[in-house]
Amino acid sequence: MRKILITGAACAALAVAACSDKGADTDGDGKVSTAEAQKELSKGGAVAMTPGMWEVKIKFDSIEAPGLPEAAKAQMSKAMSEMSIKSCLTKEQAEKPGADFFGGDAGSNCSFEQLDRSGNKMTVQMTCKPQGGITISNKMQGSFEGETYAMTMEQKTSGTPMGEMTMKGRIEGKRIGDCPA
């Protein structure tokens, strides 16, 4: 379960890199296709992320899981209270990000309903369908600079053995140094 949560969060954590003020849905159909996302991301932008080693902290403040026993919910809340992911952002990824820049692997099967940036503010809405009939819907809003970002997140997960879950939290990223040689 932790991997699924990190996958959903990681897909969005790096989305704060570079998007135009108009948003990625250029054809206005309500979905951001892979081609639209690649075009949007390849534009760069006034505020691009700085290459280097990044640390992303994900903290869930609220977990609603009606089908989960209280003891299991308490254990899950403790495990999800704060997670940390470190990854290297290369110069090439920062200058010309592609669809892979969003994190997660191809098995996450993510699609974007919204990807908009206005100045240093960003809104992302995406759905990931990893293995096993699980669906993870994320809504995120936040702001970013070249070496930091912060976003609020609401993540709804369905198709788990525990039933539907809604978790609310925060993603904070910061550049912590250069990538290992």
Sheet with 148-158, edge to edge strand ranges: 83-89, 52-64, 165-177, 148-158, 135-144, 121-128, 110-118
pLDDT > 50? residue 20? no
pLDDT band at 97 (very low <50, low <70, confident <90, very high): low
Mean pLDDT of 155-166: 89
pLDDT-wise least confident of 35-49, 56-70, 84-98, 119-133: 35-49
Q: pLDDT, tens digit, for every residue of 45-89? A: 444 678 999 998 989 988 888 888 888 888 888 888 788 989 888
Q: pLDDT, tens digit, for every residue of 68-78? A: 888 888 888 88
Instruction: For residue 101, give its domain range.
Output: 2-177
- Per-residue exposure over 19-52, b if at least 16 CB sit within 10 Å of its own CB, e if not: bbeebbbeeeeeebeeebbbebbeeebebebebb
Domain count for the chain: 1
